[in-house]
């Protein structure tokens, strides 16, 4: 019996050495969780045996339990390096349509050839689908899907509206020859100008310029003429159905388009004595002043029916801060925005602490793509190890509980960071020495048992 007791001690010491050595070997493994050997004594007794004199039967390894304490966070320069601070696991699948889910704390992710987010083993990171505002459409693991980063942000959007806020100087002089002889190439025929980049239906960019000419104060006080040009070529302002009158001098007394000599149709902006915007002509059905179509301005095959609404945010009821003004100050453009988009190319990925993956594109837009799924278990130590710092669900661990980072008991996600192994190298080296001493002691006990047996066998 003493042989068996000593042998069980040797096996236990060897197991302790193996576990400690494995911890030391993985001290630099991202997301690794150290293990601990847990031993129990062996005590066998029958109904008629005396418990007071019974000797134990050795030791057994009850469990090699992993310790899921938090590892240190190491920061990197890769946005797809992810670390969980707190509870939770990343969920991965080996194939896009696979249901074989693995769980890991190692966040070394990258893009594969199809722009899916994968780890070093090629397993796809799962995320919850999101709404356009970034909120999660579902937080069920059954609806989670592999996260993919598109390189383009979709089809281009042609510009349909330009929003302008500005101040036109009240003290500017009237150029007597300008309104009737406006020339976009001659700065002496207009007072001020500003430009904005617009886009056609193919995503091609064009420069749209707005020219402002002080109107005759004797005929139209506190009024300005506005003309528009696309890529340096003037474009008429839509007359809303009122026929144009070529050569009509400014202030001719007719509603509809205002045309100086040369047939360029413009618009009139009128202010009151306080410098507040009060009217615009021609008066559109709604919103701002609209250009005619771009038939003569888009030679690249884009939609020539495109028009642009120039919105000055006119409020006829009362002044508002979004309207242009005419104050005794310099010409100043405080806002000049348009709603068109070129084709965007991926320029960066941003991942928030709540796991929301947002892509930014070269056209200045950003788009929420997915929300990284986190999974937790009732008993983490019941998970089945499958290698590659991954685990699988088991009966002991309980079912996987999915949720969003930062909600409930789930931890937060750090982008451009990795969780290091939670192995304390100093502690492991001390445990290694202790396990070695235990092995030596049990070896000595086995040697003594052998000597006693030899002594007995030599009795005559």
| Segment 262-304, tens digit of pLDDT | 567 889 999 999 999 999 988 776 678 999 999 888 888 899 9
Continuous segment of H or E residues that includes residue 372: strand 366-372
Continuous segment of H or E residues that includes residue 393: none
pLDDT at 147: 96
DSSP 278: E
* Structure tokens given for 282: 């021609």
Task: Classify each residue of 242-269 as buried b or exposed e, where b means 16 or more C-beta atoms within 10 Å of its C-beta.
Answer: eebbeebebbeeeebbbbbeeebbbbbb
* Structure tokens given for 66: 């992993």
Distances (CA, A) of 104 to 90, 143, 276, 414: 5, 19, 63, 15
pLDDT at 250: 39
| Segment 225-258, tens digit of pLDDT | 999 999 999 998 886 544 333 334 433 333 344 5
* Structure tokens given for 98: 């696979």
Nearest one of 154, 182, 157, 88 to 402, comparing CA atoms: 88
Phi, psi of 274 (to 5 degrees): -90, 0
Length in residues, the chain? 460
pLDDT at 384: 94
pLDDT at 285: 61
Identify the segments of the chain with pLDDT beneath 50: 241-257, 260-261
Domains of the chain: 2-69+422-457 (no CATH), 73-153+346-419 (no CATH), 161-338 (2.60.98.20)
Distance of CA 410 to the CA centre of its chain: 19
pLDDT at 256: 40
């Amino acid at each position: 019996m003493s042989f068996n007791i000593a042998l069980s001690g040797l096996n236990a010491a060897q197991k302790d050495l193996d576990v400690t050595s494995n911890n030391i070997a993985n001290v630099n493994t991202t997301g690794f969780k150290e293990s601990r050997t847990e031993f129990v004594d062996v005590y066998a007794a029958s109904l008629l045996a005396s418990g007071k004199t019974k000797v134990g039967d050795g030791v057994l390894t009850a469990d090699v339990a992993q310790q899921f304490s938090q590892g240190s966070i190491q920061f990197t320069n890769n946005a797809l390096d992810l670390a969980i601070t707190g509870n939770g696991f990343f969920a991965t699948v080996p194939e896009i349509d696979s249901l074989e889910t693995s769980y890991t704390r190692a966040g070394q992710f990258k893009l594969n050839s199809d722009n899916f987010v994968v780890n070093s083993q090629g397993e796809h990171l799962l995320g919850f689908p999101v709404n356009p505002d970034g909120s999660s459409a579902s937080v069920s693991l059954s609806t989670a899907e592999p996260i993919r980063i598109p390189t383009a942000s979709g089809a281009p959007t042609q510009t349909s509206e330009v929003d302008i806020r500005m101040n036109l100087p009240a003290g500017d002089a009237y150029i007597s020859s300008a309104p009737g002889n406006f020339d976009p190439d001659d700065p002496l025929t207009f007072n001020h100008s500003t430009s904005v980049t617009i886009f056609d239906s193919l995503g091609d960019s064009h420069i749209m310029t707005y020219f402002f000419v002080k109107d005759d104060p004797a005929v139209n006080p506190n009024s300005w003429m506005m003309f528009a040009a696309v890529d340096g070529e003037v474009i008429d302002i839509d007359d809303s159905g009122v026929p144009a009158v070529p050569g009509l001098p400014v202030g001719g007394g007719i509603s509809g388009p205002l045309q100086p000599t040369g047939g360029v149709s413009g618009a009139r902006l009128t202010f009151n004595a306080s410098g507040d915007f009060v009217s615009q002509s021609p008066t559109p059905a709604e919103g701002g002043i609209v250009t005619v179509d771009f038939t003569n301005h888009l030679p690249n095959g884009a939609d020539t029916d495109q028009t642009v609404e120039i919105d000055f945010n006119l409020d006829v009821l009362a002044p508002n801060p979004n309207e242009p003004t005419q104050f005794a100050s310099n010409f100043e453009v405080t806002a000049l925005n348009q709603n068109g988009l070129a084709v965007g190319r991926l320029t960066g990925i941003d991942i928030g602490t709540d796991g929301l993956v947002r892509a930014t594109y070269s056209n200045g837009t950003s788009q929420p793509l997915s929300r990284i799924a986190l999974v937790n278990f009732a008993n983490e130590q019941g998970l089945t190890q499958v290698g590659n710092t991954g685990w699988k669900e088991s009966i002991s661990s309980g079912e996987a509980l999915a949720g969003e980072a930062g909600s409930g008991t789930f931890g937060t996600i750090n982008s451009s960071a990795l969780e290091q192994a939670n192995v304390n190298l100093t502690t492991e080296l001390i445990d290694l020495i202790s396990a070695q001493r235990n092995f030596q002691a049990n070896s000595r006990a086995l040697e003594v048992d052998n000597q006693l047996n030899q002594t007995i066998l030599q009795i005559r």
